[in-house]
Amino acid sequence: MSYTGLYQSQHLRTACSNCSVSELCLPFGLTGPEIQQLDKLIVQRFKVKKNLALYRTGDPLRSLYAVRIGSFKTNVISVNGREQVTGFQMPGELLGLDAISTEIHGCNAFALEDSEVCPIHFAHLEKLAGELPSLQHNLNKILSREIVRDHDMLMTLGNMNSEERLAAFLLNLSQRLSMRGYSPTHFLLKMRREEIGSYLGLRLETICRSIAHLRDRGLVEISGRDVEIHNLKGLNQLVAGCHRLRLG
Amino acid sequence: MSYTGLYQSQHLRTACSNCSVSELCLPFGLTGPEIQQLDKLIVQRFKVKKNLALYRTGDPLRSLYAVRIGSFKTNVISVNGREQVTGFQMPGELLGLDAISTEIHGCNAFALEDSEVCPIHFAHLEKLAGELPSLQHNLNKILSREIVRDHDMLMTLGNMNSEERLAAFLLNLSQRLSMRGYSPTHFLLKMRREEIGSYLGLRLETICRSIAHLRDRGLVEISGRDVEIHNLKGLNQLVAGCHRLRLG
DNA sequence: CGTGTGTTTGATGAATTTCAAAGCAGGTGG
DNA sequence: CCACCTGCTTTGAAATTCATCAAACACACG
């Protein structure tokens, strides 16, 4: 069995397994005729084989990348050789935003499976943004949203125990997949336990044990990379108290 | 004794205790005549008393704020009432970047001491950025730099023990202060132990004990809020192995 | 000089890491 | 097609770190 889909086995596929150009424009919040402007930037596409780098720390920023097919992880390697995973990206999401500050990539991006991306030449994007206020506005929003996401992650690492972190992680994947039309309750993990652990600030053994705990509570069934969420509500309750209090 | 300075007692002051308008333009990377354009946006200034909020979660985004005098913390309160400090801001730094995504503030900003800020009306800033490509470019960079900072923080929380986290925190303050012309080795903390703990994902008692450990190693002398770094090199070595490996 | 807030230190217990070993799955070559 | 590797996952037992609970202390302020 082979997967062209992502985080989702073929027979479960309920939506497109890849992203069209106009879908790639979605993060930029563009509609109608403006898409055609952005279209001009999203002309190329290329494949990245599993475990190969899309870019590496220190590479100059040429393009941002929109994931079309597959999935990626971004990580930073410390002097003493430890990996810190800073994020996982799936189709329709952007890679490389952190490089804008220095115009040099500050992390590595590796394909977790055979994948395909569309490069978006950054200098051209900025030029186009200068002409299209709504594009500029949305670029600001995209960058800001990334900051919000990171703050949520800080909250996860600062306030949650291992079981809650794993639950929050699974719910996050579930939500992002359902946004793209996939099943929110049944999907495949493309990363190893060790990578999940790095992302969540835990050791891989702790991830295994937390999986076992969630299983014992009857909330999920996870065998290998295959995830089945039995009780979405229960998972949500587990992390509810740790979430951002929304006012206004 | 009263402090108009920030993180720095009066008698130690070696640089300006507040930021002029042109200094506030520094984060935007502008020089020469362009500053005069930005000047038009930075016209007001107002004071925020210690412990009062500059803005709160749920407030609509009207302005970003440049800290002129004093210091702030940003935090998020979770449903179960726990505080997560997401950052500390000192003069010359910007507040409110995370609100751009939703146009609603996603966190609270509190003054840690009597402070003064310059509001930068965001709609006007975006409009001006549309006319000044270099301003737009720098706004992108500022947002991206915030993402990089957050990634470094994820690394701190994911890979370091309590002592290393505290050392990294002190070095970070030291570096930001020295950039502004203050002593990198002698300064005052404006936040409580509990707030440092929240920021570093530790309890306040653990902060106290980590302080004691660093003192026992002869690296620092901290009594109350007064910090004296005796061995900057030693502190750096402590966290060196956990830092980003730079290639290229 | 008392009161309240913030800090320090100690004793204990819980959660997570570390070390170790066994089990499983997928891919490769005989 | 099977056997064997190799890399990944799971589980157990011991060690460690950090959180929790508790109490004393320090300091600023009215």
Domain assignments of chain A as residue spans, ordered by start: 17-156, 161-240
Q: Round to whole Å and give the CA distance between B5 and B7.
A: 7
Tens of pLDDT, residue by residue over A73-85, are: 999 999 888 899 9
Check residue B242 and report its DSSP letter.
T
pLDDT of residue A38: 75
Q: With 0-12 CB in 10 A as exposed, 13-18 as middle and 19+ as buried, what is B147?
A: buried
Q: Is the CB of A204 under 7 A from strand D?
A: yes
Q: CB within 8 A of B69, min separation 6: which ones?
A: B4, B6, B17, B18, B19, B91, B115, B116
pLDDT of residue A140: 96
Structure tokens at B189: 């903390």
Residues A93, A138 contacting (CB under 8 angstroms): no
Q: Which of residues 87-146 of B touch A (CB under 8 A)?
A: 97-102, 104, 106-107, 126, 129-130, 133, 136-137, 139-146
pTM of the predicted model as reported, rounded to 2 decimal places = 0.91
Residues A66, A125 contacting (CB under 8 angstroms): no
Given pLDDT bands bounded at 50, 70 and 90, which one contains residue A22?
low
pLDDT of residue A41: 81
Q: Round to whole Å and give the CA distance between B54 and B94.
A: 12
Tens of pLDDT, residue by residue over A181-236, are: 999 999 999 999 999 999 999 999 999 999 999 999 999 999 999 999 999 999 99
Q: With 0-12 CB in 10 A as exposed, 13-18 as middle and 19+ as buried, what is A43?
A: exposed
CATH topology of domain A161-240: Arc Repressor Mutant, subunit A (1.10.10)
Q: Please check whether the domain covering B19-156 is classified as CATH 2.60.120.10.
A: yes
Q: Which CATH number fits domain A17-156: 1.10.3720.10, 2.60.120.10, 3.30.465.10, 2.40.50.100?
A: 2.60.120.10
Q: Tell me the average pLDDT of chain A.
A: 89
Roughly what angle, to the nearest 10 degrees, separates helices A162-179 and A232-240?
A: 130
Q: Round to whole Å and give the CA distance between A221 and A21.
A: 35
> Which of A59, A106, A140 is the closest to B148 by Cβ?
A106
Given pLDDT bands bounded at 50, 70 and 90, which one contains residue B14?
very low
Instruction: Give the strand order in the sheet containing B220-223.
Output: B186-188, B226-229, B220-223
Residues B83, B35 contacting (CB under 8 angstroms): no
**Rg of the Cα atoms in chain A:** 18
Contact A130 B133 (CB under 8 A): yes
Structure tokens at A205: 């053994």
Q: Please check whether the domain covering B160-240 is classified as CATH 1.10.3720.10.
A: no
Contact B147 A145 (CB under 8 A): no
Question: Which of the nucleotides in strand D have any atom less than 7 Å away from a protein CB atom?
Answer: 8-13, 17-22, 27
Q: Is the CB of B228 under 7 A from strand C?
A: no
pLDDT of residue A245: 79
> Which of B86, B129, B245 is the closest to A79 by Cβ?
B245
Q: Is the CB of A224 under 7 A from strand C?
A: yes
Residue B177 has pLDDT above 60, yes or no: yes
